[in-house]
Amino acid sequence: MVVPKRWCLALVLLAATLGACDKKPRPFTLVQIKWGHAVYVERCESCHKRGLVGGEHASPLIGDKFWANWEGQSARKLYGRIISTMPANDPGLVPSKDVIDVVGYILAQNGLAVGGQEILNPDELNPVSITRREPGA
Ligand code: HEC
């Protein structure tokens, strides 16, 4: 089939747009990640340390140890672990909204693609899978 040149450009643009529609929006806004960092510093850093590297007893929340425990899990599960057991010395202290944001911060620090849709409800974390990002994705 011979297609006039100007149609080609239109078709390419249409394909690109449809491709973009296919992609799921990234979870968490950047404001949430920033707030999650503030919550972490206030409520978690005393034990888990700066940069999430872990302390004497508190597990690292970044790197190989994190991936060994959380790869393939849903972000909802990580949320559940934190809301029901953390801070270890006072579980339940941190409100749900702040725990959502701290989950976003932890995931961002581990290289997950974030910075799209605001997450307001823990159930919205069900479809968010904790998977390593492909290089370049
Ligand atoms: C008083 C110290 C302390 C504080 C504060 C604290 N944690 Fe922990 N955290 C621990 C300890 C100790 C463990 C490991 C033992 C356990 O599971 O209870 C742990 C384990 C965890 C785990 C499980 C890690 C894994 O891979 O299994 C997560 C996730 C976590 N903490 C997140 C947080 C977050 C987020 C906060 C802040 C809201 C926080 N913790 C505050 C001490 C603390």
Stated pTM of the model: 0.87
With cut-offs at 50, 70 and 90, classify the pLDDT of residue 134. Answer: confident
Is 135 domain-assigned? no
Domain annotation covers residue 79:
yes
**Considering its fold, how many domains does the chain have in total?**
1
User: Which H or E run contains 46?
Assistant: helix 45-48
Ligand 1 mean position, distance from CA 24 (Å): 30
Closest Cα to atom 11 of ligand 1 = 58
Look at residue 16 and tell me if it is in a domain.
no
119: Cα separation from own chain's centroid? 10
Q: How far is the CA of 81 from the centre of ligand 1 (A)?
A: 9
Nearest CA to ligand 1 atom 12: 58
Q: Is the shortest distance between the CB of 75 and ligand 1 below 6 Å?
A: no
Asked if residue 3 is part of any domain, the answer here is: no
132 inside domain: no
Query: Taking the chain, what is the end-to-end CA distance rounded to the nearest angstrom?
Result: 34
Domain containing 33 — which CATH number?
Answer: 1.10.760.10
Q: Which pLDDT tens digit goes with each residue over 21-53?
A: 557 899 999 999 999 999 999 999 999 999 999
Amino acid letter at 14? L
pLDDT per residue over 58-96, tens digit each?
999 999 999 999 999 999 999 999 999 999 999 999 999
pLDDT at 4: 72
Q: Is the beta carbon of 130 within 6 A of some atom in ligand 1?
A: no
Query: Measured between alpha carbons, how far is 113 from 30 in angstroms, rounded to an integer?
Result: 11
Mean pLDDT of 17-21: 56
> Which one-letter DSSP state was computed for residue 135?
T
Q: 111 C-alpha vs ligand 1 centroid, how far in Å?
A: 20
Q: Is 66 inside any structural domain? A: yes
